């Protein structure tokens, strides 16, 4: 499977600099401790129950913020982070060791992952849109048969204004030499992303957002049918994690994310255009 769906240029890109890496473990840990997974992703309240042997796999865990954050906040769960980039896994393991957590980290292509354990949750945040086939990635997660699924992807409408902006900038600076081009792009990125983080972390976000060799964008309308028979989508950031009475109504509303994203861009407020869905086994 992996021969067809992983993207080698993506692996090389992340080997140069893993996404969401920090200059040192101190700043990474400080940032991790400020996050609350339940406020970031409210449906997790329903999912993470106080039982023993609660098993989670985070596919494409990168430098491990989510896997380590879950281990840090919930002592009763077993979290495995999987990523095909050895540099990202090394960073994630270092943080885990410093915090004395029991997160398990594995270097592997997500399309090759097998599990003998009964899985409660499989998450994959910002990953599948960087593979050669996002839909096959979702099918792979469904094959692992967890009780719950949490997937984060770039949204077709929510990301459009940001991508148009990047395209214009690339064209404006296209005659510059590579280093100068990247410097100018980075300066432009910093105008949008005013979040306080260390320089290496910001650089890794910039590369991810503006220099990535491969990304696709998706909609709820397009991915919902993949889940249909086996899973029910019960929550999404598209309607800000409100109760879903009728998924079709939520789908009808998703184009509005274009206007929201445009407004953010015009006000120079960072909005990379990402959406989350949670699904439960039927």
Closer residue to ligand SAM, CB minimum distance, 70 or 127: 127
Say whether residue 150 binds ligand SAM (CB under 6 A).
no
Say whether residue 47 binds ligand SAM (CB under 6 A).
no
Say whether residue 69 binds ligand SAM (CB under 6 A).
no
Taking alpha carbons only, the member of 16, 13, 99 closest to residue 64 is 99
CA distances from 76 to 27, 55, 230, 244 (A): 26, 9, 28, 29
Say whether residue 10 binds ligand SAM (CB under 6 A).
yes
- Give the range of 6-14, 139-147, 183-191, 238-246 binding ligand SAM by CB under 6 A: 6-14
- List the one residue from 22, 72, 84, 205 that touches ligand SAM (CB under 6 A): 84
Closer residue to ligand SAM, CB minimum distance, 132 or 147: 132
- Give the range of 55-63, 156-164, 199-207, 223-231 binding ligand SAM by CB under 6 A: 55-63
**Dist. CA 50–CA 173, nearest whole Å:** 53
Q: Which residues pair with 82 in a beta bridge?
A: 59, 106
- Give the range of 10-18, 142-150, 174-182, 222-230 binding ligand SAM by CB under 6 A: 10-18
Q: Which residues pair with 281 in a beta bridge?
A: 231
Closer residue to ligand SAM, CB minimum distance, 171 or 196: 196
205 half-sphere exposure, CB direction, 13 A CA radius: 19
Instruction: Sort strands 54-59 and 77-83 into parallel, antiparallel or unpaired.
Output: parallel
- List the one residue from 105, 208, 209, 227 that touches ligand SAM (CB under 6 A): 208
CB-CB contact of 238 with 250 (8 Å) = yes
Q: Which residues have CB under 8 Å from 23's CB, separation 6+?
A: 198, 199, 200, 201
**Dist. CA 208–CA 156, nearest whole Å:** 17
105: left (phi over 0), alpha (psi -120 to 50) or beta: beta
276 φ, ψ to 5°?
-125, 140
Could you tell me how many residues make up the chain? 282
- List the one residue from 68, 78, 131, 209 that touches ligand SAM (CB under 6 A): 131
Closer residue to ligand SAM, CB minimum distance, 28 or 220: 28
Closer residue to ligand SAM, CB minimum distance, 101 or 262: 101
Closer residue to ligand SAM, CB minimum distance, 185 or 247: 185
- List the one residue from 72, 101, 130, 271 that touches ligand SAM (CB under 6 A): 130
- Size of interface with ligand SAM, in residues (CB under 6 A): 24
255's tokens: 């184009």
260's tokens: 């929201």
CB-CB contact of 7 with 131 (8 Å) = yes
Say whether residue 66 binds ligand SAM (CB under 6 A).
yes
Say whether residue 68 binds ligand SAM (CB under 6 A).
no
Stretch 85-114 residues interacting with ligand SAM (CB under 6 A) = 85, 88, 109-111
Q: Which residues bind ligand SAM (CB under 6 A)?
A: 6, 10, 14, 18-20, 60-62, 65-66, 83-85, 88, 109-111, 125-127, 130-131, 208
């Amino acid at each position: 499977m992996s021969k067809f769906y992983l993207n080698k240029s993506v692996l090389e890109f992340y080997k140069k600099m893993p996404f969401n890496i920090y200059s040192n473990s101190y700043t990474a840990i400080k940032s991790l401790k400020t996050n609350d997974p339940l406020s970031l992703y409210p449906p997790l309240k329903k999912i993470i129950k106080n039982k023993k042997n609660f098993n989670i796999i985070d596919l494409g865990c990168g430098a491990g913020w989510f896997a380590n954050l879950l281990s840090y906040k919930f002592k009763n769960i077993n979290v495995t982070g999987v990523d095909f980039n050895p540099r990202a896994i090394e960073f994630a393991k270092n943080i885990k060791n410093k915090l004395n957590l029991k997160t398990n980290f594995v270097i592997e292509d997500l399309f090759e992952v097998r599990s003998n354990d009964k899985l409660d949750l499989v998450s994959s945040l910002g990953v599948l849109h960087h593979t050669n086939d996002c839909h096959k990635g979702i099918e792979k997660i469904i094959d692992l048969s967890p009780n719950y699924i949490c997937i984060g992807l770039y949204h077709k409408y929510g990301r459009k204004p940001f991508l148009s902006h990047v395209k214009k900038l690339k064209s404006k600076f296209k005659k510059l030499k590579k280093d100068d081009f990247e410097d100018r792009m980075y300066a432009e990125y910093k105008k949008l992303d005013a979040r306080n983080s260390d320089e290496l972390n910001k650089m890794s976000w910039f590369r991810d957002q503006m220099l990535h060799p491969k990304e696709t964008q998706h909609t709820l309308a397009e991915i919902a049918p993949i889940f249909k028979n086996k899973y029910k989508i019960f929550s999404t950031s598209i309607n800000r994690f409100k109760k879903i009475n009728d998924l079709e109504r939520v789908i009808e509303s998703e184009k509005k994310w274009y206007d929201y994203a445009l407004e953010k861009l015009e006000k120079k407020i960072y909005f990379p255009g990402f959406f989350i869905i949670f699904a439960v086994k039927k």
